[in-house]
Amino acid sequence: MFTTAPLFGKFHSGLKTALRRVRGQPLHHLESLLADRLAPALLAPNPGQANSRQRDFPPKLTFLAFLDQILNPDASCRSAVRQIQAYHQQQPHPRDLADNTSAYCQARARWTLAELTEIRRHLAEHTAGNPLDLGWGALPPVKLVDGTSLNLPDTPPNRRAYPQSKDQKPECGFPLLRLVGVFSLQTGALLERAHSPYATSENALYQSLWPAFQPGDLAVGDRNFGSWGALASLQTRQVDGLFRLHASRNADFRQGRPLGPNDRLLTWAKPRNQPANLPAGDWAALPATLTVRLVRFRLPTRGRTKKITLATTLLDPLRWPVERLAALYARRWQIELYFDDLKTTLHLDLHLIAYNLIRSLQGEAAVGCHVPLERLSFKGCLDTACRYSQAIAQLPASHRQRRRALYAHMLAVMAADQVPERPGRFEPRCRKRRPKRYPLMTQPRRVLKAAGVDHLPNPKKTTSLT
């Protein structure tokens, strides 16, 4: 069942004394990474709640075991239980734990959504990053927004909560979830997210995320998020926006007041039709007009030039020349890489706590070694953190200088693992590895099992496979 998925994985619903006991034990390698990033109270038993009792799987140990599973995609629940068993066996008074994974899974389920949300937000707030500078001085906090969709495991609870696409026959597809996230461009950390069944629009989820923007922020996104209602609503929160012009808007640069070549100041009237996802009271409170700026520039791509038109509430052409706006919008592509890190590099769709932990390490490496954050390899930092944290945990607590030196070397290795600069890169959307020539499912699996059908006929195949 989809419970703690958006925070900690995909479908699961006396500190100093404890620290001394866990030194050098299994799972301490993760604790060494979290020590300066996570408040101890976030992992402590919560009096009066489900995690208040003394258990074989206390909150902190369960959290570290689960986090280790996320960072090591091949790790199973059985592997996590083995780590906890080894931990208990190395205590002054060893005790045996049951081999089955039921108690461990129940311990994970005792973590509430609110508790995991607090941990994820805490990591995002304590992620460092170099000040953004595109050559015209420091930038305001830039927050990227975008949406994506995810396939969920095909279970009855998921099918009820997140129906599959209507284009597919019942039980022949996967449950679909729609996700919209807000990321910090400075640190790459996920600041906030909203999810819903796939039938919900991205704009409805985007509206629920407006509280994540603070006065003085700059929201950057693609054309889907730059509607009149969204721009005007953000303006009432003293938040500026920079979005690609919506396809339904006419980009006529003969209108408005010219500010320079391909740069116009226009006044947009309030649309007659109220957006479906905006409450009537909020819509009525918006002004009758909105002043926006349209800028146009050409983006060179492979063998051709692409014309881009932006709509923004950054109205000062001296502080925000067209070249600066173009360079800033080009950084919007980073959010596509952030989602790729979440969905591909971590091998699961939503591992936001683990993602923010690695982003925090990346930020520290970038700041300490004076390298651009966007050049650091997320996969490289993930591998480095997993290996070096285990080496750090093996050093005795008394060897503080060696531990600090090894930690500094870990950050230096992360900073040195940089991806090449690839402006205007292009990758054909095709696969080299050929998929198995099995036909698509057109009947539920239970029906095929009952009928004893092993292979469905493939209409594209004229000869049988041997």
Residue listed under structure tokens 């929160």: 237
Residue 335 pLDDT > 80, yes or no? no
Number of H helices, E strands in the chain: 17, 9
Nearest in space to 242 (alpha carbons), one of 268, 217, 218: 218
Per-residue pLDDT reduced to its tens digit, 77-117: 888 887 777 767 666 777 777 767 888 888 888 888 888 88
> What pLDDT does 228 receive?
92
Looking at per-residue confidence, does 410 or 390 come out higher? 410
Judge if 220 and 236 occupy the same domain.
Answer: yes
Name residues whose C-beta falls within 8 Å of residue 420's C-beta, 6 or more positions apart in sequence.
none
Nearest in space to 5 (alpha carbons), one of 172, 207, 150: 150
Cβ atoms of 414 and 380 closer than 8 Å: yes
Looking at per-residue confidence, does 386 or 296 come out higher? 296
Domain tally, the chain? 2
Per-residue pLDDT reduced to its tens digit, 250-285: 888 888 899 988 999 999 999 988 888 888 899 999
- The whole domain housing 211 covers 130-338
Q: How far is residue 352's CA from residue 8's CA, in Å, rounded to a whole number?
A: 6
Q: Is residue 448 part of a domain?
A: no
Judge if 15 and 84 occupy the same domain.
Answer: yes
Judge if 121 and 50 occupy the same domain.
Answer: yes
Residue 205 pLDDT > 90, yes or no? yes
Judge if 76 and 135 occupy the same domain.
Answer: no
Judge if 244 and 147 occupy the same domain.
Answer: yes
Q: Mean pLDDT for the chain?
A: 80
Q: Is residue 438 part of a domain?
A: no
- Crossing angle of helices 59-71 and 378-394, rounded to 10°: 130
The stretch 32-54 carries a mean pLDDT of 71
Could you tell me what percent of the chain has a pLDDT over 70? Answer: 81
The stretch 124-147 carries a mean pLDDT of 80
pLDDT band at 437 (very low <50, low <70, confident <90, very high): confident
User: What does pTM read for this prediction?
Assistant: 0.74
Name residues whose C-beta falls within 8 Å of residue 389's C-beta, 6 or more positions apart in sequence.
29, 30, 32, 33, 410
The stretch 280-297 carries a mean pLDDT of 92
Looking at per-residue confidence, does 85 or 136 come out higher? 85
Judge if 162 and 117 occupy the same domain.
Answer: no
Q: Choose the final residue of a domain: 338, 362, 392.
A: 338
Judge if 117 and 219 occupy the same domain.
Answer: no
> What pLDDT does 255 receive?
87
Q: Is residue 431 part of a domain?
A: no
Judge if 141 and 226 occupy the same domain.
Answer: yes
